[in-house]
């Protein structure tokens, strides 16, 4: 197809003299493959950028493997591996010859009032992922939860969910969950792994006795539930227990920084929507830092109106999701973070003489050491910092500087925070974009407290240790495990027999969050209620009841008999009056259950606090040389608690697009220096530790950075998470008072071993045609459709008639941040299977929506554009015309329908799809589901079998449900009533779905009136029902759409660092 | 719409007729299949359909008494049919509304009462069953004014319920194609 399609969009504005033509022919003949019609400014991978002939060959192949090459016998190992990953298969009930299978209908004995068979019930609820709180609507069918939706009324998360929140539901049905209380016999002279089931009565008796002995410590992850926090307080009063809160990625340095600068220890909330200029120093606020989903929403709000869009400047040690969305991205290394902020302070305070600090000579003296920070940082433009400072000053009072995350967890972490606070105060941002009056109350984790605890354990001061919802043995390894052996009784409450549970004496399985009552406090004063939506699957118990039992708590809260009573008592006694609700508690409670949450964001401007800067007086630029370590949590796995969820393991990393692995990311120059290719193993050495890890060559990375993802290398996560990747927590440094994740020097050399990383970017490539369209803000202001090439199209097709609805979707690339929540939402809604690493390598991943990540520019400084691609529901669909059995046809509402029961699997359609959105069932993936996992399936969507094609349906089941509801209520369908799963969860509201035949609908207006709107491969005239909107970069120094097409030359100029 | 579907049919036939080999495979296949199907089926009118299927039920519930003799409306028991895609089999509590007083001495009623009190249930044998990839919406049809009898037959005369129509796709489409019904004919109307 690519050969036939000639370069009509580039040829016409070139000179056609015979000389040039001859030259051109010569150039073209030397290239590995014709590149006519391709936009070489954008590339998916280094192989594509370098025009690797192997890659070209792959790109032109529809299927990476043919079924004929599938040697089933030789492939036996892989097949077994696949089954191991996915669980044992269900036995297929033999249906007999033709005798229909007899099905039984078992009605309720007593009809529950709320249940109508076949109709979904939504319950307001909430979930805390260890750092961020979400308001949820849990969609249930006949008493089992099948999908999480964002709750639009929650004041903080406002209807958005993250990829991990979407996937969390599946952990309820995880077959590896703990199913009953366990007693570990390690202290009885048996092997460590021997556990026996006990009853709750026996367990409670033993634990009560241990707790009564004194010397009790409770170690938990960060707690967002106010009821649980109160219960822990009551437990402490009763037993004089110590309470330690710790999670590996806790933001303690921010709290300590606030204390050092302003005297109050808290983690403030931020308002990215209010900021005109945002500067982030390694704070991946769109990916993993604090509350990324809410930040995504705020960030998009500041950019939706293009004329007034905010500017994002990122100083990035690792190629983070935030860096990928930056208007200006600077690569740095962790040891340079402080230099960046001090350099900015120098520009603002000393050079511009701004703020009260300008009178502080001592501070100015300290800052003068950073006078030539730009040169120290090695930026190509030595005036870069000055320019950033000028934008900040221009937007003073309405800008925001943030730093944080594991990338900043090093010896300078505190100084960095103090410097950031000073900068925000100097610019007058404090109190407006940094909201200290409404803080992140749940984020109280502390590395210092953890060190104290381990010391106490080693000294034998801790007799009984209760561990709840944190897995320290996985994070801390032998350091913690050794200390555990000094504790008389260890009790663990959690969901799995994980790394810590196996070392505990008693394991008390906790309810899943969809099985129990609870609550959450997202920010000060924003509360949400968590309702159970399913009977507990197994013999588990809420931690609330555990604590009240073990501590024999005598308060009203402790005496209550169920989690329901406890939550109600807390809300009645403690919250009702403070929320200022007048009226009876029952009225309040019913209202709460419906709305799901109470409280609002504080919108008034607070006064600017004066920051203390004494700590910064001695600061000197850090001139560390050599490789530096950087450990980071990922968007898909976070810290690694949810590693046993296949959806997350198979969710491509937003930047690298690699699945089922972690790796050491290194820069291109470093790879060339060490003679490494993608996937080669290196030996990384730090202190006494030597580990061999595969490398990923990451464009746009600093040459001295070696970045590795946390959350992998679990040994006891379950059948899916075990043994995926390596445990990067081993490289974490524990020193007195801190856990360091970055900046440590390390050595690296080639291990001369090969490894294969499964990278999905490169699969389903659209062969480099002009797909993503970008423009700078300046270009946009001059020409609102800058960059869009309009084609003159005539059609030989008769047009379809759409008399009723005509469904269509608009995707705004300017606000899409690539967070990938939509991918998991779609997977959950549409029963999409996972296939495992082996088959991802063969290009058989099943996601109906993929997010293409394009790099652009010089590979050593590459910028990124994201583009979600799903079935485009073309009016002149190329797939429809080639299906020999009419299994894919056009509906009179503009949907490209896939009829599974007609499909015979010729795969002609996928060969003919220019967008590469069709997915083929190579196996009967349903058989790999465990019985409990099958409960998570959406009954509205057919589960596909082997040998049929599938693809995005525009959530046709949701369209039909909404239409039926409207019909029943005797009214017309309203705009916005049908929300696709991807749209519902999207934190940035980049996706708009609706009926273009309704001229008032949002999507119709976007299509008609927004000049940024364009369709993919318009020149093919497939007439897609999905249109995209140009990505705008707020960077006046860039030229993206030069008046003439010069990009071939530009791309060639880019060299290897 | 009708025309398009017809074209589709003739297209399909055209392809099959295209080669001699195809024709041979087709006819041979039909012979083998009809032999196999014919030998195994007792009562199917068409291949794979279950018209007249009349299984024994755990309790010989007599529709002709309830719906016929006593004129109880269908929706009294199948009360969710107007608002849900499924027509529910009534909960035991619905039976007990009357049978707490009526005919309490019957051993079958005793069975229901026992299950009701123990909070267990009765396992009815499903009569009308569509293939897994078909979604049928009762409420949409009831709303439109389609009588229960159209698809289920004269249930008020049935002692034991049987499948009245073959519930084949052709049978569904036949109704949807009638212009006066203004019914949708998209594939996703039933398959999603």
| Count of other CB atoms within 10 angstroms of residue A905 | 15
Mean pLDDT for B69-92 is 91
- From the list B44, B185, B192, the residue facing A941 with the nearest CB is B192
Q: Are residues B66 and B29 in the same domain?
A: no
Using an 8 Å CB-CB cutoff, list chain B residues near A942: 132-133, 191-192
- Per the structure, the count of domains in chain B is 2
The domain defined by A252-439+608-616 carries CATH number 3.40.228.10: yes
Give me chain B's average pLDDT, please.
81
Contact status, residue A651 vs residue A176, Cβ threshold 8 Å: no
The answer to whether residue A956 neighbours chain B at the CB level (below 8 Å) is yes
Q: Are residues B170 and B134 in the same domain?
A: yes
Residue A73's pLDDT is 45
Cross-chain residue pair B41–A98, CB shorter than 8 Å? yes
Q: In chain A, where are the structural domains located?
A: 38-64+761-1050, 182-249+444-512+539-562, 252-439+608-616, 628-710+718-759
Question: From A954, which residue of chain B is nearest by alpha-carbon distance?
Answer: B192
From B71's Cα to the closest Cα of chain A, the distance in A is 23
- Range scoring the smallest mean pLDDT among A310-324, A585-599, A783-797, A883-897: A783-797
Domain-located, residue B27? yes
Taking each helix axis as running N to C, give the angle between helix B20-40 and helix B2-17, from 0 to 180 degrees, rounded to the nearest 10: 110
Q: Distance from CA of residue A475 to its chain's centroid?
A: 20
Give the CATH number of domain A182-249+444-512+539-562. Answer: 3.40.50.740
Q: Are residues B32 and B61 in the same domain?
A: no
Which B residues in the span 5-24 are in contact with A, Cβ-Cβ below 8 Å? 8, 11-12, 15
Which B residues in the span 110-139 are in contact with A, Cβ-Cβ below 8 Å? 115-116, 118-126, 129, 131-133, 135, 137, 139
Mean pLDDT for A186-195 is 70
Residue A303's pLDDT is 93
> B164: which residues sit within 8 A by CB, 6+ positions away?
B51, B151, B152, B153, B154
CA-based nearest residue to A135, from A170, A167, A165: A165
Contact status, residue A831 vs residue A938, Cβ threshold 8 Å: yes
What's the pLDDT band for A879 if we cut at 50, 70, 90? very high
Cα–Cα dist A345/A351, whole Å: 9
Length of chain B counted residue by residue: 192
The residue to which tokens 């524990």 are assigned: A734
Top-confidence residue, A37 or A146:
A146
pLDDT digits (tens, 9 = 90+) for A645-666: 999 999 999 999 999 999 999 9
> A87: which residues sit within 8 A by CB, 6+ positions away?
A175, A719, A928, A929, A930, A933
Q: Are residues B179 and B147 in the same domain?
A: yes
Helices within A302-446 (DSSP H only)? 321-324, 337-345, 361-368, 373-377, 384-394, 413-426
CA-based nearest residue to A336, from A448, A268, A254, A419: A419
| Count of other CB atoms within 10 angstroms of residue A529 | 24
CA-based nearest residue to A855, from A774, A926, A932: A774
- Mutate one of B137, B187, B191 to test the A interface: name it (highest A CB count within 10 A): B187
Q: What is the CA radius of gyration of chain B?
A: 21
pLDDT digits (tens, 9 = 90+) for A934-991: 999 999 999 999 999 999 999 999 999 999 999 888 899 999 999 999 999 999 999 9
Q: Are residues B132 and B186 in the same domain?
A: yes
Phi, psi of A544 (to 5 degrees): -60, -45
- Mutate one of A105, A888, A970 to test the B interface: name it (highest B CB count within 10 A): A105
Cross-chain residue pair B123–A105, CB shorter than 8 Å? yes
DSSP labels, A477-506: THHHHHHHHTSSEEEEEESB--TTGGGSSE
Contacts from B5-14 at CB under 8 Å and sequence distance 24+?
A: B5/B185, B8/A886, B8/A889, B11/A886, B12/A885, B12/A886
Q: Any idea which fold A38-64+761-1050 has? A: Alpha-Beta Plaits (3.30.70)
Residue A70 has pLDDT above 50, yes or no: no
Give me chain A's average pLDDT, please.
86
- From the list A97, A105, A109, the residue facing B40 with the nearest CB is A97
Residue A68's pLDDT is 39
Residue A1036's pLDDT is 86
Mean pLDDT for A1008-1027 is 89
What's the pLDDT band for B9 if we cut at 50, 70, 90? very low
Cα–Cα dist A1047/A161, whole Å: 38
Domain-located, residue B32? yes
Residue A67's pLDDT is 43
Domain-located, residue B135? yes
What's the pLDDT band for A726 if we cut at 50, 70, 90? very high
List, in sequence order, every residue forming a beta bridge with A908; answer none if it has no partner: none
B65: domain range?
Answer: 55-72+125-192
3-class SS of residue A417: helix
Q: Are residues B145 and B191 in the same domain?
A: yes
The answer to whether residue B90 neighbours chain A at the CB level (below 8 Å) is yes
Residue A43's pLDDT is 74
Domain-located, residue B170? yes
Structure tokens at A828: 């959950």
pLDDT digits (tens, 9 = 90+) for A422-464: 999 999 999 999 999 999 999 999 999 999 999 999 999 999 9
A747 sits in which H/E element: strand A747-754
Domain-located, residue B28? yes
Strand boundaries in A777-931, DSSP class E = 807-812, 850-856, 863-869, 888-890, 896-898, 919-920
Helices and strands, counts by H and E, chain A: 35, 45
Cα–Cα dist A637/A233, whole Å: 31
Residue A335 has pLDDT above 60, yes or no: yes
From A97's Cα to the closest Cα of chain B, the distance in A is 7
CA-based nearest residue to A636, from A813, A824, A816: A824
Q: How far is CA A158 from CA A111, A130, A438, in A?
A: 35, 18, 17
Mean pLDDT for A746-759 is 90
Query: How much of chain A, in percent, has pLDDT values that exceed 70?
Result: 88
3-class SS of residue A122: strand
Residue A22's pLDDT is 64
Q: Any idea which fold A628-710+718-759 has? A: Barwin-like endoglucanases (2.40.40)
Q: Are residues B150 and B190 in the same domain?
A: yes
Cα–Cα dist B127/B50, whole Å: 9
Strand boundaries in A597-737, DSSP class E = 597-598, 628-632, 658-659, 664-666, 680-686, 689-697, 705-709, 733-735
Domain-located, residue B116? no
pLDDT digits (tens, 9 = 90+) for A485-528: 999 999 999 999 999 999 999 999 999 999 999 999 999 999 99
Phi, psi of A812 (to 5 degrees): -90, 105
A567 sits in which H/E element: helix A563-570
The residue to which tokens 């009118």 are assigned: B45
Residue B47's pLDDT is 60
Question: From B92, which residue of chain A is nearest by alpha-carbon distance?
Answer: A109
3-class SS of residue B99: helix
- Range scoring the smallest mean pLDDT among A34-48, A427-441, A923-937: A34-48
Domain-located, residue B117? no
Cα–Cα dist A869/A811, whole Å: 9
Cross-chain residue pair B84–A109, CB shorter than 8 Å? no
Mean pLDDT for A529-548 is 93
The answer to whether residue B93 neighbours chain A at the CB level (below 8 Å) is yes
């Amino acid at each position: 197809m690519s050969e036939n399609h000639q370069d009509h969009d580039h040829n016409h504005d070139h000179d056609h003299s015979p000389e040039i033509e001859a030259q051109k022919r010569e150039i073209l003949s030397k290239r590995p493959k014709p590149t006519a019609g391709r936009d070489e400014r954008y590339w998916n991978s280094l192989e594509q950028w370098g025009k690797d002939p192997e890659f070209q060959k792959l790109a032109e192949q529809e299927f990476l493997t043919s079924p004929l090459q599938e040697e089933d016998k030789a492939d036996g190992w892989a097949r077994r591996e696949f089954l191991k990953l996915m669980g044992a298969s269900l036995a297929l009930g033999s249906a007999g010859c033709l005798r229909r299978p007899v099905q039984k209908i078992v009605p309720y004995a007593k009809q529950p009032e709320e249940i109508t068979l076949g109709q979904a019930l939504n319950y307001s609820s909430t979930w805390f992922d260890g750092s961020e709180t979400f308001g949820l609507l849990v969609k249930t069918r006949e008493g089992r939860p099948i999908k999480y939706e964002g709750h639009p009324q929650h004041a903080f998360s406002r209807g958005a969910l993250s990829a991990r929140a979407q996937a969390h539901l599946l952990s309820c049905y995880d077959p590896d969950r703990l199913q009953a209380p366990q007693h570990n016999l390690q202290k009885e002279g048996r092997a460590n792994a021997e556990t026996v089931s006990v009853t709750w009565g026996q367990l409670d008796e033993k634990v009560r006795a241990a707790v009564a002995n004194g010397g009790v410590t409770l170690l938990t992850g960060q707690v967002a539930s106010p009821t649980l926090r109160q219960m822990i307080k009551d437990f402490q009063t009763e037993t004089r227990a110590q309470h330690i809160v710790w999670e590996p990625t806790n933001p303690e340095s921010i709290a300590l920084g606030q204390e050092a600068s302003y005297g109050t220890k808290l983690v403030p909330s931020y308002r990215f929507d209010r900021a005109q200029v945002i500067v982030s120093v390694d704070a991946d606020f769109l990916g993993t830092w604090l509350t990324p989903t809410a930040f995504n929403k705020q960030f998009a709000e500041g950019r939706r109106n293009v004329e007034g869009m905010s500017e994002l400047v990122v100083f990035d040690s690792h190629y983070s999701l935030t860096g990928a969305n930056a208007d200006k991205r600077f690569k740095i290394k962790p040891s340079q973070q402080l230099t960046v902020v001090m350099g900015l302070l120098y520009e603002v305070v000393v050079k511009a003489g701004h703020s009260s600090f300008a009178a502080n000579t001592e501070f100015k003296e300290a800052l003068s050491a950073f006078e030539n920070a730009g040169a120290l940082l090695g930026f190509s433009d030595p005036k870069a910092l000055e320019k950033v400072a000028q934008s900040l000053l221009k937007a003073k009072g309405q800008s925001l500087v943030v730093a944080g995350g594991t990338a900043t967890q090093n010896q300078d972490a505190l100084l960095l925070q103090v410097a950031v606070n000073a900068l925000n105060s100097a610019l007058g941002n404090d109190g407006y974009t940094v909201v200290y009056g409404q803080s992140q109350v749940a984020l109280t984790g502390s590395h210092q407290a953890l060190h104290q605890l381990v010391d106490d354990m080693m000294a034998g001061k801790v007799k009984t240790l209760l561990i709840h919802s944190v897995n320290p043995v996985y994070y801390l390894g032998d350091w913690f495990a050794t200390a555990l052996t000094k504790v008389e009784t260890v009790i663990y409450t959690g969901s799995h027999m994980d790394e810590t549970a196996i070392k505990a004496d008693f394991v008390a399985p906790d309810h899943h969050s969809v099985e129990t009552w609870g609550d959450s406090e997202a920010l000060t004063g924003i509360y949400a209620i968590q309702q159970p939506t399913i009977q507990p699957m197994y013999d588990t118990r809420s931690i609330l009841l555990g604590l009240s039992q073990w501590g024999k708590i005598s308060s009203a809260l402790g005496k209550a008999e169920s989690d329901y009573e406890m939550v109600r008592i807390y809300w009645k006694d403690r919250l009702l009056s403070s929320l200022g609700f007048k009226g009876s508690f029952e009225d309040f409670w019913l209202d709460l259950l419906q709305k799901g949450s109470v409280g609002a964001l504080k919108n008034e401007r607070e006064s600017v606090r004066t920051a203390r800067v004494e700590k910064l007086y001695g600061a000197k630029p850090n001139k560390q040389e050599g490789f530096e370590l950087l450990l980071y949590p990922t968007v898909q796995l976070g810290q690694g608690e949810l590693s046993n969820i296949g959806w997350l393991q198979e969710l491509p990393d937003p930047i690298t697009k690699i699945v089922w692995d972690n790796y050491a990311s290194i820069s291109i120059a470093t790879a060339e220096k060490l003679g490494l290719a993608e996937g080669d193993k290196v030996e990384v050495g730090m202190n006494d530790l030597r580990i061999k890890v595969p490398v990923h060559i990451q464009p746009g990375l600093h040459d001295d950075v070696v970045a590795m993802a946390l959350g992998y290398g679990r040994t006891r996560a379950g059948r899916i998470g075990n043994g995926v990747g390596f445990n990067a927590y081993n490289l974490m440094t524990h020193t007195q008072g801190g856990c360091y994740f970055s900046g440590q020097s390390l050595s690296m050399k080639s291990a001369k071993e090969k490894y294969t990383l499964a990278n999905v970017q490169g699969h389903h490539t659209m062969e480099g045609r002009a797909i993503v369209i970008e423009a700078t803000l300046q270009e946009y202001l001059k020409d609102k459709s800058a960059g869009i090439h309009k084609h003159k199209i005539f059609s030989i097709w008769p047009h379809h008639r759409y008399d009723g609805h005509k469904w269509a979707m608009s995707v705004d690339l300017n606000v899409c941040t690539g967070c990938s929540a939509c991918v998991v939402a779609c997977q959950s809604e549409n029963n999409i299977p996972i296939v495992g690493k082996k088959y991802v390598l063969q290009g058989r991943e099943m996601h109906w929506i993929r997010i293409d990540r394009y790099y652009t520019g010089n590979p050593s400084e590459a910028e990124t554009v994201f583009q979600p691609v799903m079935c485009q529901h073309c009016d002149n669909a190329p797939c429809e015309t080639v299906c020999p059995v009419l299994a894919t046809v056009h509906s009179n509402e503009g949907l490209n329908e896939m009829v599974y029961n007609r499909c015979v699997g010729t795969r002609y359609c996928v060969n003919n799809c220019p967008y590469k959105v069709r997915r083929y069932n190579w196996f009967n993936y349903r058989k790999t589901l465990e019985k409990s996992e099958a409960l998570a399936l959406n009954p509205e969507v057919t589960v596909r079998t082997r040998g049929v094609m599938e693809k995005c349906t525009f959530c046709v089941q949701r369209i039909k449900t909404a239409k039926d509801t409207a019909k029943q209520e005797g009214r017309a369908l309203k705009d916005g009533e049908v929300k696709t799963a991807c749209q519902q969860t999207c934190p940035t509201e980049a996706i708009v779905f609706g009926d273009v035949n309704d001229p008032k609908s949002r999507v119709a207006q976007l299509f008609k009136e927004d000049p940024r709107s364009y369709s993919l491969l318009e020149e093919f005239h497939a007439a897609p029902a999905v249109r995209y909107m140009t990505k705008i970069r707020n960077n006046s120094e860039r030229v993206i759409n030069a008046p003439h097409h010069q990009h071939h030359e530009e791309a060639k100029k880019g060299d290897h660092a | 719409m009708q025309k398009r579907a017809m074209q589709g049919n003739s297209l399909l036939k055209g392809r099959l007729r295209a080669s001699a080999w195809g024709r041979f495979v087709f006819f041979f296949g039909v012979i083998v299949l009809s032999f196999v199907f014919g030998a195994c089926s007792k009562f199917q009118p068409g291949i794979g359909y279950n018209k007249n299927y009349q299984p024994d039920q755990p309790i010989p519930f007599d529709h002709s008494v309830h719906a016929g003799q006593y004129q109880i409306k269908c929706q009294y028991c199948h009360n969710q049919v107007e608002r849900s895609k499924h027509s529910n089999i009534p909960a035991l509590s619905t039976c007990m509304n009357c049978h707490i007083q009526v005919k309490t001495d019957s051993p079958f009623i005793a069975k229901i009462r026992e299950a009701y009190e123990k909070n267990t249930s009765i396992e009815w044998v499903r009569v009308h069953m569509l293939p897994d990839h078909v979604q049928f919406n009762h409420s949409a049809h009831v709303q439109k004014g389609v009588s229960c009898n159209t698809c289920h037959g004269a249930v008020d005369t049935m002692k034991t319920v049987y499948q009245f129509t073959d519930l084949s796709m052709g049978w569904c489409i036949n109704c949807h194609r009638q212009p006066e019904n203004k019914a949708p004919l998209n594939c996703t109307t039933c398959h999603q």
